[in-house]
Amino acid sequence: MTEKQLTYSGATPCFPEKFRILSGSALKMIAMITMLIDHIGAIILYRYPPANVPVFELFGKTLSMYRLSRDIGRVAFPIFCFLLAEGFLHTHDRLKYGRNLLLFACISEIPWNFMHTNTWSYEKQNVFFTLFLGYVGICVIEYFRERQSVQILLLLSLFWFSTVLKADYGWKGFIFILLLFALREQMAVQALVGSAWLHYEWKACFAFLSINMYNGKRGFIRGKWGKYFFYAFYPVHIIILTLICNRMGLM
């Protein structure tokens, strides 16, 4: 697969070509770094009283280090969803892609539980399950185009399951993934509709700035090791942050 093939077919980007400087690998790094900042806030700073003291004012609102970390972290989820849709379009093995999402959803569940409760159980599930359900939804849209009654029934079933499962971002995240995929060839509309859908987490809308700087190239993360590092980063960084939090006596 050549570099030029790694982009939405017929997509109309928002930005001129000179501004489209981010490869898929660069987007992955932005998503991982902002997610790390978010989880530092959620796991450590949330439990560390000095980090919850307002330190400066912005647009009339006071911000603590905890609040700032969570606001920055809102950018990660939309980028992961965009990359998921890209992955569906360009993977050589869609079954294996879905299997990997489900596998790491299961692997991440124990670290996710300890992150929130420092026990083996937690009522909500990790975001990999939301990504997996969204991926299955995309598969349903593509494979049942000619059988719309089956398509609608399966999508409604997945929607119902996303509400019951209580995975991170829930049914709103599931619908968001489908919206990004459905609007993949109209990126300006994708940004507008996606931002409107994310109004309840409006800081996440800034993700569309980097998404529309995507140049369609794979970038520097290549091969099996690079791919699985991207998957493994989620559970591994949660484990490390939870251990640090325990070491600090905050849990």
Q: What is the pLDDT of residues 220-231, one digit of tens each?
A: 877 778 888 999
Does residue 239 register a pLDDT over 70? yes
**Global confidence as pTM:** 0.91
Give the position of tokens 């905890």.
66
Per residue in 190-201, pLDDT (tens digit) is 999 999 999 988
Q: For position 240, what pLDDT does the model report?
A: 97
Taking the CA of residue 207 as centre, how many other CA atoms within 13 Å lie in the half-sphere pointing to its CB?
34
Segment 197-221 shows an average pLDDT of 91
- What secondary structure letter does DSSP report for 91? -
**Residue by residue, what is the 3-state secondary structure of 183-202?**
CCCEHHHHHHHHHHHCHHHH
